Amino acid sequence: MKPSTKAIRPVPEATRDTRSLTIPIYETTTFVFDSADEVRAYAEGTSDKFLYSRYGNPTVAAVEQKIAALEGTDEALLFSSGQAATTTALVALLEAGDEVVCSSAIYGGTLHLLEGVLAKFGVRSRFVTLEELSTPASLFSDATRLVWFESPNNPTLRCVEIGPLAVACRARGVLSAIDNTFATPINQQPILLGVDLVMHSATKYLNGHADITAGALAGSSALIERILATRKKLGTVLDPAAAYALGRGLKTLAVRMERHNANALAVAGWLAQDARAGTVYYPGLDTHPDHAIARRQMNGFGGMVCVDLGSYERAARFFDSLEVISRAASLGGVESLCSLPVLTSHWALSDEELAAAGVTPGMARLSVGLEDVDDLIADLDQALGKG
Ligand SMILES: Cc1ncc(COP(=O)(O)O)c(C=O)c1O
């Protein structure tokens, strides 16, 4: 099946026997057994019944099956946030003394988790540049167990060449994990390129309606079993009602991404030809440094666009003048949003850290939504006039 069909069909196995067309919400903490033998079968792992919703729940399992199908993996797991997904993966896969090699162009929450939490438990992190990630032969130390990266990244949409990095990790016996939030499985399928684990902030495009916080991990059954054991211990599972909302959002993922891709390409192209806008970052533009990589490994370039207006003052005036596009953090929903990275995702970073992340005070980041693109461009036009 093609992705847009997989997003809708088949009705996932976990809830198929209810004959409900949509995934029902099982709002229950626990499940009733008929006998001690039935409980024993569950405990021995020979039954597919559910015991307790922190361990597993049919609504959650059904949506997990959808995400696994979309990512082309054996299995997937859902979590109460993207951060909960990352935390659970790191705790499951690493031990004291292990080293994580992490892209320095990474979501701030991942960086703080590695530096502020995992470090307390003896897991060391080494942050590397995109150039270092593109020469994987010299990337590993004897302690490296995991390489964690993002592509495209925030906010400059720089891309990592996924295939060679994943192959090098595998050859070395090191796990590779990608945060695929910006791309979605519609635009990029890292598992097919050899990556071991895919992570999502499902809060963003997978749900698509900015009304739940959720996270997802997808990978082989062997890897997912290890992470599931840790999810049970940490209690980081998603709530069934939020899983239902995520499952409903997923049905339109493919069509939403088509429109996000088209709108963002039009917005980026329009900004790039306007002398009032400075550098425009969008992997679909042939001026983007990673356009060739993006063309090779992506089916569409996504809904995120970043523009550098030259100074914080200009960016702030532009931001304050927007009338259709909302001033808000987050991304990936139907509504277009604008944020200033130095005030949100890259707040409180030193000048050196900002330079390493390629972030300037004049940058405005757009999450281009599904509105009519003419209305979005008209809004950008009038705001640039005041910027
Ligand atoms: C790329 C990326 N990864 C991970 C996260 C964390 O996800 P959540 O906010 O769902 O915990 C975010 C949130 O903004 C993100 O943008």
The pLDDT assigned to 108 comes to 87
Minimum CA distance residue for ligand 1 atom 6: 82
Are 180 and 159 in contact, with CB atoms under 8 Å apart?
no
73 lines ligand 1 (CB under 6 A): no
CATH number of the structural domain spanning residue 109: 3.40.640.10
The pLDDT assigned to 356 comes to 81
211 and 315 in a single domain? The answer is no
Q: Is the pLDDT of residue 348 over 90?
A: no
- Name residue 99's beta-bridge partners: 124, 144
Minimum CA distance residue for ligand 1 atom 2: 107
246 and 264 in a single domain? The answer is no
CATH number of the structural domain spanning residue 301: 3.90.1150.10
The pLDDT assigned to 242 comes to 98
Single residue among 200, 215, 250 that ends a domain in this structure? 250
Q: Is the pLDDT of residue 387 over 80?
A: no
pLDDT digits (tens, 9 = 90+) for 214-244: 999 999 999 999 999 999 999 999 999 999 9
213 lines ligand 1 (CB under 6 A): yes
> 26: closest CA among 50, 3, 2?
50
Q: What is the mean pLDDT of residues 267-289?
A: 97
Atom of ligand 1 nearest to the CA of 330: 14
Give 67-122 as a DSSP string.
HHHHHT-SEEEEESSHHHHHHHHHHHH--TT-EEEEESSS-HHHHHHHHHTGGGGT
Mutate to test the pocket of ligand 1, among 80, 158, 182, 204 (most ligand atoms within 8 A of CB): 204
154 lines ligand 1 (CB under 6 A): yes
Cα separation, 145 vs 141, whole angstroms:
9
- pLDDT band per the 50, 70, 90 thresholds, residue 14: confident
193 and 332 in a single domain? The answer is no
Cα separation, 344 vs 363, whole angstroms:
11
179 lines ligand 1 (CB under 6 A): yes
281 and 300 in a single domain? The answer is yes
Are 67 and 216 in contact, with CB atoms under 8 Å apart?
yes
Indicate the pTM of the whole model: 0.97
Select which of 26, 42, 98, 107 is catalytic. 107
CB neighbour list of residue 340: distance below 8 Å, 6 or more residues apart:
312, 315, 316, 319, 363, 364, 365
Q: Tell me the average pLDDT of the chain.
A: 96
53 and 176 in a single domain? The answer is yes
The pLDDT assigned to 84 comes to 98
Single residue among 250, 284, 307 that ends a domain in this structure? 250
204 an active-site residue?
A: yes
> 217: closest CA among 317, 74, 353, 364?
74
Cα separation, 383 vs 349, whole angstroms:
27
Are 344 and 329 in contact, with CB atoms under 8 Å apart?
yes
pLDDT digits (tens, 9 = 90+) for 133-176: 999 888 999 999 999 999 999 999 999 999 999 999 999 999 99
The one-letter code for the residue type at 302 is G
Structure tokens at 197: 């684990």
324 and 262 in a single domain? The answer is yes
152 lines ligand 1 (CB under 6 A): no
185 lines ligand 1 (CB under 6 A): no
283 and 265 in a single domain? The answer is yes
Structure tokens at 136: 């994987």
52 and 80 in a single domain? The answer is yes
The pLDDT assigned to 10 comes to 81
282 an active-site residue?
A: no
Number of domains in the chain: 2
53 and 162 in a single domain? The answer is yes
233 and 270 in a single domain? The answer is no
206 and 302 in a single domain? The answer is no
242 and 282 in a single domain? The answer is no
For tokens 């049970």, the residue is 232
108 lines ligand 1 (CB under 6 A): no
Single residue among 201, 230, 250 that ends a domain in this structure? 250
Q: Is the pLDDT of residue 212 over 90?
A: yes
Residue 262 domain boundaries: 253-386
107 an active-site residue?
A: yes
Residue 253, by phi and psi: left (phi above 0), alpha (psi -120 to 50) or beta?
alpha
Are 269 and 86 in contact, with CB atoms under 8 Å apart?
no
244 an active-site residue?
A: no
Atom of ligand 1 nearest to the CA of 181: 1
> Helix or strand or coil: residue 134?
coil
> 144: closest CA among 123, 115, 174, 122?
174
> 112: closest CA among 139, 97, 90?
90
Cα separation, 218 vs 76, whole angstroms:
4
